[in-house]
Every structure is written in structure tokens, then in C-alpha cells.
């Protein structure tokens, strides 16, 4: 058996965790931007969906240069989203409904408006305040060249010069200076931040860019830097800005803090660490409880890559006793209902689809997306969903330049349109310009026309809807404890099938109709007398 059930507790081992992107979930005050009250009001809909936990993307005080991943105060709610009382009410309501709450922790960088950075700028070169960040003199005769060759993930150089001539590093936007995690003061600050939110009752953290926190001593050139960004190239040994060993001690100290609180608090690292055998080091029993499985997300919907990703996942995570996680969507990648409707491979997933790009076949994409989700939700381990995927929402691929917000768009002069297309406000009730996102028709990003028909209220009326499929999948998954189950391949041919306990899951990659597998039908992503191409089915079968 490739994976056997693992005794041991922890809701996070098998839970379904739903990502809320607060800007776009629901807008209670009608200003065009989602807010915490909007989330609280609609938690009951998530309870009906059957999820176990939510993860909230950042709602902290922020100039919003990177949609809140540029934090100006880690202990406050941005007035755009509400206030701390709203947050407390959200947590209380979620807990009342049996939903756990994870929040986003952004430790690699702050906003340039954070007081630590403002003080560092004011204090000048060589000061204690500057040691919170990575400030350096430039190269060239007058220090006019960046200190090294690092590139920002959003395009352009990863260095910006200050008026006094020093440079600071930012692996993302110039408004997101990287913190210096060698500095014990920075470490202390974050321990306090963790406690602040744990005291308020959060069940855990999704940790942003943990693989970026350590930097090689002296900040040397990246030997393999390319145009793709900050030089992330799988298989290249030890890039100076990623995966430094020094970070593990930090995660251990955080794990201890979480463990000192009652209940099962958990942290999930957004660790872009590959191969997975290397990532396993990040989920050793005293580090992260889990990490996102980007190997699975990046497999696209190609059989061989999928098989490989699943094999590697169980091998790597089981070796250290951590659960595998599974994920197909988040706020950084093209929505799977569009990604699978065209040739949008790993390289372009976070670059988005613009009006100039080949447009996806959303019908094909949705068919595959529903099947992919069903395939994923049958797997043992924890699954992450991203808001709107339960409605089968496609990417918004024709956003016009004046609506663009993602720094990637601006830093590449529009060459990479960026991630706005997957961040569009959710349609709740068909009608008006925002389909129930709010009552005022205002929205920070416009919805595409297709969203009207995909509104939640429309889908609630139909047993054939994508929403109905997700609800059934989550219900059966829970009833049969699939998240805690086992895994074995039955066939790795184009009729790809695996078994989790008594449940047989088959996906049809053959391109032709195939007979339905024997057994009691539990759920399928299509209909008809045969298993259609790109369809997934779950059957109960004891043989």
C-alpha cells in the first residue's frame, strides 16, 4: 500500500480548508471591497458546503500595494476590512459553526510603510534599526549598481536604492522590503505577533513565503539567475535567497508556541520547496504541521505528472509522519476551470491570462476541473480549496489595463498580466453588476459576464451544479473518513484509478467513453451510461 492510515490526532491531517480572499468574498458595507463582516454573514454558507476550516488571506493594515501581502501593522485590521471587534466576531461565529480559522502570517517582508522600515530609513546606514532589514552599499564606482544580481519575483531588480545611497532587498515589490531573520529582534517581534493572534483564538497560520526568509551570508550573486524571476530553478543547489537551513530553527520555535496553546493549532507553510523529498524536511514533527503541495498543483491535468506527484507526495510526507496536502487553486494561479481549458502550464500559471493571450475553452476547463476536484477530494490528507472553485468560476481573462492591480502587471509593463483574474469578487445572488457581492454594484475588480449564471443562489437551485457536486463530495468524504484513509493505485493506465478504503476513484484520461466501474455509484462529475472522457467517478467497491 502506498499510504496507510496514520493513527494520531489533528484536524489538519485530514481537513478541508477553504481559502477566503477577504477583498473578494463578500462586501457588507458596499464600498466595493470585501470585508470581515461580509465573511461573518456568509460563514453559514461555508458550513453548508461542509468545509472544516477557513484560511483568511491578509486583512491587516496595509497600503495594499500587493493586495495586503504588504503588511504595515501585524496587529491591526485595515479599516478597509473592518476592525478587531469584527475579527473577534468572525472567529466566534466560525467556532460556533464548527469551522476553524487560520490566518495568513507574512514574515518574509513588511510594507515599506511599516514603522520598522520607516525607522530604518530615518536612522541611516549602520543603525540598529536598519538591521531589521537587508541594507547594503551598491556596486560600481559610486555604489550606483545593485549589490547583487537578484531579481524580484514580480519582475525587475530585487534592489531599490534609498536617498542616502544604500540599497535594500525586496524579493517582491519595492514596497515589500525583506526582513533580516538573522536578527533576534525580528524573531522576538514575530513570536509576539503569533501570541497576539493565538490569544484571540485563531486555530493556526498559513505562512507566506517561508522559504524566502533565510538569505545566504553576505547576499552573494545567484549563480543561475534567469529571466523567470528571482532565480527559482528546481534542482539547482542552494540558491542564496531560498531554502536556507537557518529557517528551521525559527519554525521550531513557532511550533513550540503553537503547542503551548490549548486545542490543535496548526501552521501550513507556503513552502515552494522542491523536490518533495526536500520539502519533507520542513514538515518534520517539530516544524510545520503541513505545507502546500505545489507539486500536485503544478502537475496540471496530465496523467503521468499526476501519478508522479501523488507517488512522491506519499513517499516524502509519510517518511516524516506529516499529512500530504492537496491543492488545485489559490489567489496566485489561474483558476483551474480555465487553466485546464487551455495550454497554461506551470510557467505561466501566476502570470495570468490577458485579452491578448489565447483564450481558454471554459466548457472543457470546467469539465476537467470538476473531475480534478473530485479526484483530489478522494485522496487521504488535507485538501485546500480556494473561494469560488465550488462554483466552478473561470478566470476573468479580459480585465482591461485600467482595472489592473497586481504589481506584476506594472513591474513588467503589462507583459505578465498577473493574478487579478483569479481574484474577482464572488457572485452570490444573480443580478446587478456584482451579483450579490454587495448591494451597491461597486467592485474593486469587475466580474466577467459569465459570473451571473454561476451565482451561488442559481447553483443552489440545481442538483446538477458544480456547487452540488462539491457539497456531495465533502459530505461523502466526511461520512467515509476519506481524509484519514489509505491510498493505493489500482491502475496507472489512462483509466487512472486508486482505492481509498472501500472507495474506488476512477478518472478517464483515455479520450473515449469507458464502461462505468462496478460497484455502488457514490458520485461522479458527469452523467450518462458511460464514463465520459475527463470524467471522475467514486464507487463503493469491496473487491
Active-site residues, by number, are: 208, 270
**10 contact partners, CB below 8 Å, separation of at least 6:** 264, 266, 289, 323
Contact status, residue 474 vs residue 463, Cβ threshold 8 Å: no
Compute the distance between CA of residue 31 and CA of residue 28 in angstroms, rounded to an integer. 8
Compute the distance between CA of residue 138 and CA of residue 146 in angstroms, rounded to an integer. 5
Map residues 24-43 to x or -, x wherever contact with ligand BGC holds by CB under 6 A: --------------------
Q: Between 228 and 481, whose beta carbon lies closer to ligand BGC? A: 228
Residue 505, strand partner residues: 498, 538
Considering only residues 417 to 476 of the shown chain, the ones binding ligand BGC according to CB under 6 A are none
Contact between 178 and ligand BGC per CB under 6 A? no
- Smallest separation (angstroms) from ligand BGC to the CB of 233: 17
Q: Between 155 and 533, whose beta carbon lies closer to ligand BGC? A: 155
Q: Between 106 and 169, whose beta carbon lies closer to ligand BGC? A: 106
Q: What is the grid cell recorded at 452?
A: 451571473
Compute the distance between CA of residue 404 and CA of residue 426 in angstroms, rounded to an integer. 17
Compute the distance between CA of residue 496 and CA of residue 448 in angstroms, rounded to an integer. 34
- Smallest separation (angstroms) from ligand BGC to the CB of 210: 10
Place of cell 476550516: 53
Q: What are phi and psi of 466, to 5 degrees?
A: -60, -40
The 8 Å CB, 24+ separation contacts for 159-165 are 162/121, 162/135, 164/124, 164/125, 165/125, 165/137, 165/138
Residue 416 DSSP class:
S
Which residue from 172, 181, 243, 254 is in contact with ligand BGC, where contact means CB under 6 A?
172
Whose CA is closest to 384, among 290, 279, 487?
290
Half-sphere exposure of 291 (CA within 13 A, CB side): 33
* Dihedral angle sign, alpha carbons of residues 136, 140, 144, 150: negative
Whose CA is closest to 532, among 501, 511, 506, 502?
511
Contact status, residue 496 vs residue 533, Cβ threshold 8 Å: no
Compute the distance between CA of residue 393 and CA of residue 298 in angstroms, rounded to an integer. 19
- Smallest separation (angstroms) from ligand BGC to the CB of 504: 35
- Smallest separation (angstroms) from ligand BGC to the CB of 414: 18
Compute the distance between CA of residue 428 and CA of residue 25 in angstroms, rounded to an integer. 9
- Smallest separation (angstroms) from ligand BGC to the CB of 139: 26
Q: Between 34 and 483, whose beta carbon lies closer to ligand BGC? A: 34
- Smallest separation (angstroms) from ligand BGC to the CB of 153: 7
- Smallest separation (angstroms) from ligand BGC to the CB of 248: 20
Compute the distance between CA of residue 224 and CA of residue 317 in angstroms, rounded to an integer. 29
Map residues 255-294 to x or -, x wherever contact with ligand BGC holds by CB under 6 A: ---------------x------------------------
Q: Between 172 and 428, whose beta carbon lies closer to ligand BGC? A: 172
Compute the distance between CA of residue 323 and CA of residue 51 in angstroms, rounded to an integer. 18
Considering only residues 40 to 69 of the shown chain, the ones binding ligand BGC according to CB under 6 A are 66, 69
- Smallest separation (angstroms) from ligand BGC to the CB of 270: 5
- Smallest separation (angstroms) from ligand BGC to the CB of 528: 39
Tell me how many residues contact ligand BGC (CB under 6 A). Answer: 9
| DSSP string over 359-390 | PP-HHHHHHHHHHHHHHHHTSSSEEEEETTGG
Q: Between 69 and 117, whose beta carbon lies closer to ligand BGC? A: 69
Which residue from 27, 112, 166, 208 is in contact with ligand BGC, where contact means CB under 6 A?
208
**529 contact partners, CB below 8 Å, separation of at least 6:** 516
Compute the distance between CA of residue 247 and CA of residue 473 in angstroms, rounded to an integer. 37
**525 contact partners, CB below 8 Å, separation of at least 6:** 367, 370, 371, 373, 374, 469, 535, 536, 537
Contact status, residue 211 vs residue 272, Cβ threshold 8 Å: yes
- Smallest separation (angstroms) from ligand BGC to the CB of 310: 23
Q: Between 128 and 415, whose beta carbon lies closer to ligand BGC? A: 415
Map residues 89-128 to x or -, x wherever contact with ligand BGC holds by CB under 6 A: -----------------x----------------------
Considering only residues 320 to 379 of the shown chain, the ones binding ligand BGC according to CB under 6 A are 331-332
Contact between 209 and ligand BGC per CB under 6 A? yes
Q: Which residue is nearest to ligand BGC (CB)?
A: 69
Report helix, strand or coil for 422.
Answer: helix
Residue 48 DSSP class:
H
Q: Between 151 and 465, whose beta carbon lies closer to ligand BGC? A: 151
Q: Between 270 and 534, whose beta carbon lies closer to ligand BGC? A: 270
> For binding to ligand BGC (CB under 6 A), which residues are involved?
66, 69, 106, 172, 208-209, 270, 331-332
Amino acid at each position: 500500500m502506498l499510504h496507510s492510515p496514520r493513527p494520531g490526532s489533528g484536524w489538519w491531517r485530514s481537513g478541508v480548508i477553504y481559502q477566503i480572499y477577504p477583498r473578494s468574498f463578500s462586501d457588507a458595507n458596499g464600498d466595493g471591497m470585501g470585508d470581515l463582516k461580509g465573511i461573518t454573514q456568509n460563514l453559514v454558507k461555508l458550513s453548508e458546503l461542509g468545509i472544516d476550516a477557513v484560511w483568511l488571506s491578509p486583512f491587516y493594515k496595509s497600503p495594499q500595494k500587493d493586495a495586503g501581502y504588504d503588511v504595515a501593522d501585524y496587529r491591526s485590521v485595515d479599516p478597509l476590512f473592518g476592525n478587531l471587534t469584527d475579527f473577534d466576531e468572525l472567529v466566534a461565529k466560525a467556532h460556533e459553526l464548527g469551522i476553524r480559522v487560520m490566518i495568513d502570517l507574512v514574515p518574509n517582508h513588511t510594507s515599506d510603510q511599516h514603522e520598522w522600515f520607516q525607522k530604518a530609513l530615518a536612522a541611516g546606514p549602520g543603525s540598529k534599526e536598519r538591521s531589521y532589514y537587508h541594507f547594503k552599499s551598491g556596486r560600481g564606482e559610486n555604489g550606483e549598481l545593485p549589490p547583487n544580481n537578484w531579481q524580484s519575483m514580480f519582475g525587475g531588480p530585487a534592489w531599490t536604492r534609498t536617498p542616502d545611497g544604500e540599497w535594500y532587498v525586496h524579493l517582491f515589490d519595492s514596497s515589500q522590503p525583506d526582513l533580516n531573520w538573522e536578527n533576534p529582534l525580528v524573531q522576538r517581534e514575530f513570536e509576539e505577533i503569533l501570541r497576539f493572534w493565538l490569544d484571540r483564538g485563531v486555530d493556526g497560520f498559513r505562512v507566506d513565503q517561508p522559504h524566502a526568509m533565510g538569505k545566504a551570508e553576505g547576499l552573494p550573486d545567484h549563480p543561475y539567475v534567469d529571466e523567470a524571476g528571482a532565480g527559482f530553478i528546481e534542482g539547482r543547489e542552494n540558491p542564496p535567497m531560498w531554502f536556507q537551513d537557518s529557517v528551521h530553527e525559527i519554525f521550531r520555535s513557532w511550533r513550540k508556541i503553537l503547542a503551548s496553546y490549548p486545542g490543535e493549532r496548526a501552521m501550513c507553510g507556503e513552502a515552494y520547496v522542491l523536490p518533495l523529498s526536500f520539502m519533507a524536511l520542513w514538515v518534520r514533527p517539530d516544524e510545520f504541521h503541513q505545507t502546500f503541495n505545489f507539486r500536485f498543483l503544478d502537475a496540471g491535468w496530465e496523467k503521468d505528472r499526476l501519478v508522479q506527484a501523488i507517488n512522491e507526495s506519499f513517499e516524502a510526507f509519510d517518511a516524516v509522519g506529516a499529512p500530504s496536502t492537496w491543492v488545485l487553486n489559490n489567489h496566485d494561479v489561474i483558476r483551474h476551470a480555465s487553466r485546464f481549458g487551455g495550454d497554461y502550464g506551470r510557467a505561466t500559471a501566476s502570470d495570468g491570462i490577458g485579452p491578448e493571450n489565447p483564450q481558454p475553452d471554459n466548457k472543457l476547463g470546467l469539465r476537467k476541473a470538476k473531475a480534478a476536484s473530485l479526484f483530489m477530494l478522494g485522496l487521504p490528507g488535507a485538501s485546500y480549496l480556494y473561494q469560488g472553485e465550488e462554483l466552478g468560476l473561470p478566470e476573468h481573462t479580459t480585465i482591461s489595463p485600467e482595472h489592473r492591480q497586481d504589481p506584476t502587471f506594472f513591474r513588467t509593463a503589462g507583459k505578465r498580466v498577473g493574478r487579478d483574474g483569479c481574484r474577482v469578487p464572488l457572485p452570490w445572488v444573480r443580478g446587478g453588476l456584482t451579483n450579490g457581492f454587495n448591494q451597491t454594484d461597486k467592485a474593486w475588480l469587475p466580474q466577467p459576464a459569465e459570473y451571473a449564471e454561476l451565482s451561488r443562489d442559481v447553483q443552489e437551485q440545481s442538483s446538477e451544479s458544480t456547487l452540488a457536486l462539491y457539497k456531495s463530495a465533502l459530505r461523502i468524504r466526511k461520512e467515509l473518513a476519506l481524509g484519514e484513509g489509505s491510498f493505493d493505485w489500482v491502475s496507472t493506465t489512462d483509466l487512472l484509478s486508486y482505492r481509498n478504503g472501500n472507495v474506488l476513484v476512477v478518472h478517464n484520461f483515455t479520450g473515449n467513453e469507458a464502461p462505468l466501474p462496478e460497484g455502488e455509484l457514490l458520485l461522479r462529475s458527469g452523467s450518462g451510461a458511460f464514463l465520459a472522457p475527463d470524467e471522475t467517478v467514486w464507487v463503493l467497491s469491496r473487491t
